[in-house]
Amino acid sequence: MALPFTDAQREAIRRKLFESAQRHARFTGVRKTTLDALTADAGISKSSFYKFYETKEQLFLEVARCWEEDIVSAATDTLAESEGQSDKERAAALVYRAFERTHQLGIIRFLREDLPYLSTFIPQPDARSHFMTSASVIYDALRRARIRFTLPDDVVLSVIQLMYLSILNIGDIGENFFPALHALVQGACSRLVA
């Protein structure tokens, strides 16, 4: 009979599974990643996987939540750096940094191709719609920063969603993407922020 994992072993295995899932999410894709690949990276059997996660998709959702937290953290750190600037400048810095961090994480393909699939594994429709987009995460960060808007909230969220959709197509736009995004964010914030 196999001995149970120690706490240290459980933590190490969980970390290895998470790191493997991050790598596969970036480069292989969720649907193409097998449980065999994840468990081989962690040095455990497939049956042991279920001691850590109920499904492969739950592991990838945990990765997506971690990336979301990273993006929000980077964006809100920008607020501290923009202390003393106008709300328009602070909002533009936050929004731009969120998209820049999304790109730095290398998760554009994941957001475009895998996150819609993974969202079907989130039971509550409200949670699913929020989790589906970094736009709502960025909007929430702006609200927490007490940024006031000149237009209704649903319009502001839609503008952020449009910018979010543009980053999903960064490869089609090419090397001018970030200068164009910067201009777009600056213009939107000068119009939308009170």
At 120 the pLDDT is 81
CATH class of 56-192: mainly alpha
pTM: predicted TM-score of the whole model, two decimal places: 0.87
pLDDT score, position 128: 47
Q: What is the pLDDT of residue 133?
A: 62
pLDDT given at position 122: 78
CATH class name, domain 1-53: mainly alpha
Decide if 119 contacts 132 (C-beta within 8 A).
yes
Q: Kindly list the averaged pLDDT for each block of 10 residues, start to end, along the chain of length 194.
A: 80 96 96 96 94 93 91 89 90 93 92 86 61 74 92 92 86 90 95 94
Query: CA-to-CA distance for 28 and 118, rounded, in angstroms?
Result: 15
Domain ranges of the chain: 1-53, 56-192
- The pLDDT of residue 11: 95
Gap between the Cα atoms of 151 and 154, Å rounded: 8
pLDDT in the model for residue 66: 93
